[in-house]
Amino acid sequence: MATIIETTTDPVESVDVDVVTLDLVENALRNARYEMDEVLFRTALSPGIREQHDEFPLIGDPEGKMVVGQFGLSIPDFLDNYDGEIREGDVLLTSDPYACGAAISHANDWLVVMPIYHGGRVVGWASMFGHMSDVGGKVPASMPTDARTIYEEGVIIPPFKLYREGELAEESLELILRQVRKPDWNRADLNGIVAACRTAGRRITELCDRFGVETYLSALDDLLQRNHDAMKALLELVFEEGKTISFTDYICDDGVGYGPYELKLSLTREGEKVTLDFTGSSPQARGPINYYINANLMKMFFGIYMITVADPQILWNDGFYPLIDVVIPEDSFWKPKFPAALSGRNHGIGRVFDLLGGLLGQTNPDLLNAAGFSSSPHFMFDGTYTSGEEAGETFQLYSIGFGGIPGRPMGDGPDGHSLWPSFKNIPSEYLESYYPLRIEVWETVPDSGGAGLHRGGNGVDVAYRFLEDGEIAIHDDRWLTYPWGVLGGEPGARGTKWLERADGTTEVLPSKCHGVPVRTGDLLHFVTWGGGGWGDPLERDPDLVGLEVLRGLVTVDGARRYGVVCDDEGEVDADATAALRDELRADRDDDLPVFDMGPPMEEILANAQEETGLPAPRPPVAAP
Amino acid sequence: MAYRLGVDVGGTFTDVLLIDTDSGQTWRHKTASTPADQSEGVLRGMTAVCTDAGVGLGDLDEVLHGTTVATNAILEQKGATVGLVTTKGFRQVLQIARSFVPGGLAGWIIWPKPEPLAALEHTVEATERVATDGTIVTELDLDDLRPRLERLRDRGVDALCVSLINSFANGDHEERIGELAADVFGPDVSISLSSRVLPELREYERTVTTVANGYVQPQVSRYVANLAASLADGGLDGPLYILRSDGGLASADAATDHPVSLLLSGPAGGVTGAAWAAAGAGHDDFLTFDMGGTSTDVALVQSGEPRIGRQTRVGDMEVRSASVDVQTVGAGGGSIAHVPELTRALRVGPQSAGADPGPAAYGTGGEHPTVTDANVVLGYLPTELAGGEIALDVEAARRAVQTIADATDLGSVEAAAEGIVDIVNENMFGALRKVSVQQGIDPRDYALVAFGGAGPLHANALGRLMGSWPVIIPPSPGVLCAYGDATTGLRDEAAQTLVRQFHQTSDDELAEVFDRLADQARGTLLEEGVAAEDVELVHSADVRYHGQGFEIPVTVDDRDGGLDAIATRFDTEHERLFGFLLDGNDHELVTVRVTARGPRPDVAAERLADGDDPVVAKRADTTIRVEGAETTAAVYERQGLAAGMRIEGPAIITEMDSTTLVLPDHVAEVHASGSLLITPVDHDPGEADTAAPTTDQEA
């Protein structure tokens, strides 16, 4: 438990804050949070943060409760786990999930936490973490897909003072940077994160000057209360007292041959409280896919999903946390035992959103989306230049792929987009100017989005031609289980990766692999998965299906899944379409399934080799 | 006698301003805009103003024109049917875009994805490939492409765009496709090549900019050609110039070739007009604040020069094109206040009542409480607007605002109205901070120029939030854009993307590029008849540390200082903006740019006669509400004010197209140039206001 040193300790009087001042403070907090993003984007060097925005800001109240932020970290858990004094001018850094109560969930994320002082008193916290492209360890990018322990995943930074009362701990920083492959990236990105936190600190002290500390802090309490009250009303409206609902989804494999892992989430409301329970999920994985989830983060994920449709303008904060209990079983996928490997947890985080969709959609039709592009698959490429003016220098790429947004109540899912906020793809021209790569294809895969009244978004095929020898690594999932459809919508297509070697041979790559050697002239196809469809595909406007054939988003064969007969110009044959739709309707149940997860799991496993080119994983066993 | 005529077409009104450049005497005319063919309103207004002044079109030396034709084509989705040619494998470049979904976590659930300006069925691929360094990987196959272009032609494509991968490094394939397309489509179809429109790296941004260019081109060229022909028929000898987004003028031909550079022509006219008015009042460092019915534009002007940004945003679409760096917020007089049931928060905007149905007070069917209604409730707006054309319905405004009082704990309709005004002011305050504090600029060193229909009403309050004094209300704040059009000079720029670390280039190479770009930029002005000695060149470079994703634009004051001078200037800016340097990283030149500027026309400002006691212009006393209390404010008619008069707040100053509110403890001084300068009564111009926010460099 951290000891906070303040030179002013007399209690701050709580005052009444009118609704207008409250909204002024809310607005100013929102501006400060976006300014944090801006500072980091503009100064970062690693493509992961600079181009793709893999970072998360947060501003907290004096106790560390989030008053504005994206999500994705927890200051109270950090402070609970830090033994030491914290003073004005201190800036703390950690990358150890096991030492901060999973405030971050793998060692690539560097978390900075900074107290904000005003008149000798802590008035809040600024915090941000960013994904470092490399933190050392046995493979470039530091996410070995076969890791069994966190010791294989690079340098682990225990919580410590990067700045002690304004003084940089230079020796410690050099010691850390000596462990990583691209120290200039980490240094710049870390500088940017600290600069962003300091910017937030300035904005908060300005607010205290403008409104007075009493009003500012009382306003925070009111904003927290506003969330609490809104959520309380919403929970009672949406969930039936005492009734438990559940949903189960999967992670296909763990990188070392076991899978699929079952992820189960249940929800029960009793009185004003809702319990989210992960009991029934698979035990801790052997490979690095465990997602050590923080209970507060889970509350935030849940809250954001609940409210997005109700009041999109609201500023999200921690105020409703007392209304939610989270049960996370020990030694499970969600709470592995130290020192379990954690680096490949991105699939688990992503799948939380499919779990929430499948769970909450059962009682809230506005939230019943199909399964989407619930991951942030990684592609890594590293090596050494052999020619040109950079000969002898190493290169290292870490990038994130995108896929199909699912069919939604409001309409089709966009093709090849990000389910994560703020993320962007890296432009091909940027990749080609910084790496020995040529991008030969960057397009979405027709028919990969699930058929539905609202079509699921298509997955993306990016084809990388290698212009130097090197090694690649891939972190992806949904190669085996399907992105499910809802309300009669069909599942989307699964992802796949293959290499076309310069010598003409082809090999399918596992969805999680590293250290795969590639030679100049080889071509990698990195194909992501599509979103599931929403609603009955036979109800979709045939002319729209025809137009999408003309656009190359759906094929002539694929149009038949919608019961539409057309030519390759998208010209619809109305009679043949009516006949085909009648035939398809006659062959199916009248009641369309709420969830279509594809074939039964036994069948998926039995056909794995034939359909995917990869062997089925072995059933998970408890970690030794 | 020499005359310049500025004409600005806005959404509602077309404003015309005729200036006798010798005496500074002006004639103005305001007429309804004619959206179907803007040139009708333009001609009508021009004829009227010339008649007033007793001159003919033939007496005009030049006509300067700000237009929203390009902007409207995009906002109303009425542009061309655009065909697009991409490199094989990149057909879906606009479909995938940057894969970015706006909003927070779960934002994707409610995001309506806009349709691309070039439809996928009108996009074809060319077999060809250029590498990042400009070398050819795959030769262009024109035979393969021709039938695809013919198909696009047969499908009714009337603007063709070509955007190939890495064409910023080598535009040869695009040029050749352009020639083929000219052959296939004939002379009537406009052709935009990305290597000409925007020779910069990042394929999506370059493509969307090129496509936007093609999308608006047919309308812009038709419009400009019609207008030029009508003016010539009317006897105009002098040239017609169009105001570009970056505040410079372009010849009619140049504007037609590159219409994407006109997307912010309207706001640019406002900012250049503000620069003219502020200079007349003796200020050249200021923020501008242009508040209309649905949105507010703010910008920063340093040393009389508007800050130029590289992004232009219109509706949902963002293109890369130089424009006055305007921040827009969805906050205007028509913004609707509402209280979401679940959170009981008071929100203002972004929904707007617009002109139809309009605020409740207009009595034209609107029932939702708007910012204008709140101003009416507080007594800030006289009950007759726009010279008596619109009578305000106070009771309707009170009824509408009462709904907010009922839904919150604010108690009274007046308190609710004040709340609405405070919140909309805060939204605009956020935008002003973005262009000042967040750029490391201390707004207390800047004045604030307010215009647009609603700007002068909120300006005093924003001056107080920002600590920016004086607040300047230019003469005729509603026709300021036309002033901007009439008082700006010719401008052109040439740019090239290099992407070279400093160790990979040299002072000599830099000088060579600068020379070439300077010749190109200067050439345009020389062709327009500007004397060589009157052309002013500004050299600049977009620089970053090698590996960063964003550049900082650096003006090169000392061309002979070479790379070292640029590095020093960049480091200073980086330190100022972010508080640290990256000593281990080389600097990288990304884009080099030369801007050529012609002389600003010498337009004398009209001088007001001297006066003394403003009582001569006082029309009435009225009751207004400020900070929770009722108080009596004097109402003045602006027309009756003379130079040197001081109006102490609380006061309301009315004129045909705008209303100025002077708060208690503030005073408005009438400047001889016609502007009102508002300051706090106890304001010491030498000292910054300590209550205002601190900036980055101080922290």
Of the pLDDT bands very low, low, confident and very high (cuts 50, 70, 90), residue A454 is: very high
Q: Are B585 and A234 an interchain contact pair (Cβ–Cβ within 8 Å)?
A: no
Q: Do A28 and B409 count as a contact with CB atoms less than 8 A apart?
A: no
Which chain A residues contact residue B112 at CB under 8 A? 410-411
A525-577 confidence digits (pLDDT tens): 999 999 999 999 999 999 999 999 999 999 999 999 999 999 999 999 999 99
ipTM: 0.91
Whether residue B105 is predicted with pLDDT greater than 90 in this model: the reply is no
Residues of A in contact with B89 (CB under 8 A): 439-443, 463
Which residue in A has a C-alpha nearest to residue B418's C-alpha?
A: A20
Answer whether residue B696 shows pLDDT above 70. no
Which residues of chain A neighbour B418 with C-beta distances below 8 Å?
20
Q: What are phi and psi of A108, to 5 degrees?
A: -70, -20
Residue ranges with strand state E in B514-628:
536-545, 552-556, 587-597, 618-626
A126: nearest Cα among A189, A36, A41: A36
In chain A, % of residues over pLDDT 90: 79
Mark yes or no for CB contact A209/B110 under 8 Å. no
pLDDT range class, residue B200, cuts 50, 70, 90: confident
Residue of A308, A389, A415 lying closest to B106 (CB–CB): A308
pLDDT attached to residue B251: 86
Phi, psi dihedral angles at A314 (to 5 degrees): -65, 150
Q: Which range has the worst mean pLDDT, A596-610, B22-36, B101-115, B243-257? A: B22-36
Segment among A246-255, B23-32, B391-400 with least mean pLDDT = B23-32
Task: Please give the mean pLDDT across all residues of chain A.
Answer: 93
Check residue B607 and give its pLDDT: 82
pLDDT at residue B698, as a whole number: 34
CA distance A186 to A45: 8
Of A306-315, B87-96, B144-153, the poorest mean pLDDT is in A306-315
Q: What is the chain A residue with the closest CA to B499?
A: A433
C-alpha to C-alpha distances, B489 to B177, B534, B597, B598, nearest whole angstrom: 36, 11, 7, 6
Using the beta-carbon criterion (under 8 Å), do B343 and A314 form an inter-chain contact? yes
CA angle B393, B395, B396 (to 5 degrees): 70
Contact B696 A19 (CB under 8 A): no
A90: Cβ contacts below 8 Å, ≥ 6 apart? A114, A115, A161, A163, A164, A165
Judged against a pLDDT cut of 50, whether residue B688 lies above it is answered with no
Q: Lowest-confidence range among A24-38, A113-127, A210-224, B177-191?
A: A24-38
Tell me the nearest-neighbour CA distance from B341 into chain A, angstroms: 9
Cβ within 8 Å, pair B101-A417: yes
pLDDT at A450 over 50: yes
Average predicted confidence (pLDDT) for chain B: 88
Q: List the single residue in B with minimal CA-CA distance to A440.
A: B89
pLDDT value of position B13: 73
Report whether pLDDT(B694) > 60: no
- What does DSSP assign to residue A131? E
Residue A473 β-bridge partners: A380
For the cut 60, the answer to whether the pLDDT of residue B386 exceeds it is no
Of A195, A304, A444, the CB nearest to B96: A444
Tokens of B152: 């696009």
Chain B from 159 to 218: CB within 8 A of any A CB? 165-166, 168, 201-205
Closest by Cβ to A308, choosing from B89, B107, B423: B107
Give contacts of B346 with chain A, Cβ < 8 Å: 19-20, 23
Confidence of residue A374 (pLDDT cuts 50, 70, 90): confident
Count A/B contacts: CB-CB distance under 8 Å.
Answer: 253
Give mean pLDDT, residues B281-295: 90
The residue ranking higher by pLDDT, B542 or A70, is B542
Question: pLDDT for A321-337, tens place per residue?
Answer: 999 999 999 999 999 99
Closest CA of chain A from B403, distance in Å: 15
Mean pLDDT for B157-174 is 96
Instruction: List, in order, residues 6 or more apart from A391 with CB less than 8 Å away.
Output: A385
Band of residue B290 on the pLDDT scale cut at 50, 70, 90: very high
Q: What is the pLDDT of residue B691?
A: 40
Is the pLDDT at A307 greater than 80? The verdict is no
Please give the pLDDT value at position B588.
92
Per-residue confidence at A313, pLDDT binned at 50, 70, 90? low
Pair type for strands B190-193 and B159-163? parallel
Judging contacts by C-beta atoms under 8 Å, the chain B residues touching residue A396 are none
Give me the mean pLDDT over the B21-32 stretch: 81
The pLDDT of residue B22 is above 90: no
Matching residue, tokens 């109305």: A574
pLDDT tier at B685, thresholds 50, 70, 90: low
Instruction: Name the residue among B260, B221, B256, B292 with its Cα closest to residue B481.
Output: B292
Per-residue confidence band for B411, with pLDDT thresholds at 50, 70 and 90: confident
**What percent of chain A has a predicted confidence (pLDDT) above 70?**
98
Instruction: Report pLDDT for B194.
Output: 96
Q: Which amino acid is at A442?
A: W
Farthest CA pair distance, chain B = 81
Cα–Cα distance measured from residue A296 to residue A259, given in angstroms and rounded to the nearest whole number = 28
Helix (H, G, I), strand (E, B) or coil at B521: helix
Task: Give the tokens for residue A269.
Answer: 């409301």
For A114, the 3-state DSSP assignment is: strand
Minimum mean pLDDT range among A498-502, B495-499, B690-694: B690-694
> Taking CA atoms, what residue in A is nearest to B428?
A27
Report the percentage of chain B scoring pLDDT > 90. Answer: 50
pLDDT for the residue A623? 62
> Apex CA B233: angle with CA B229 and CA B234, to 5°?
120
Chain A residues with CB under 8 Å of B410 CB are 18-20
Cβ contact, residue pair A184, B120, below 8 Å: no
Question: Which among B419, B290, B281, B407 is positioned nearest to B348, based on CA atoms?
Answer: B419
Asked if A28 and B346 come within 8 Å (Cβ–Cβ), the reply is: no
For residue B323, give Cα distances in angstroms to A253, B205, B248. Answer: 51, 15, 9
Residue B415 to residue B234: CA distance in whole angstroms = 56
Which B residues in the span 465-494 are in contact with A, Cβ-Cβ below 8 Å?
none
* CA B306 from centroid of its chain's CA atoms: 10
Can you read off the two tokens belonging to residue B186?
Answer: 């004939």
Tell me the pLDDT tens digit for each residue of A271-301. 999 999 999 999 999 999 999 999 988 998 8
User: What pLDDT band is residue B662 in, cutting at 50, 70 and 90?
Assistant: very high
Q: Helix or strand or coil: residue A340?
A: strand
Residue among A180, A179, A100, A86 at smallest CA distance from A133: A180
Q: Do the beta carbons of residue A106 and residue A141 sit within 8 Å? A: no
Report the predicted TM-score, pTM, of the whole model to 2 decimal places: 0.88
Cβ separation B582–A184 shorter than 8 A: yes
Pick from A290, A351, A300: which is nearest to A153 by CA? A290
**Integer CA distances (angstroms), B587 to A38, B500, B590, in order:** 21, 9, 10
**B504 in reach of chain A (CB within 8 A):** yes
pLDDT for the residue A310: 64
pLDDT number for residue B692? 40
B148 shares contact with chain A (CB less than 8 Å) = no
Is the pLDDT at B695 greater than 60? The verdict is no
CB contact under 8 A, B96 and A415: yes
- Min Cα distance B595 → chain A (Å) is 25
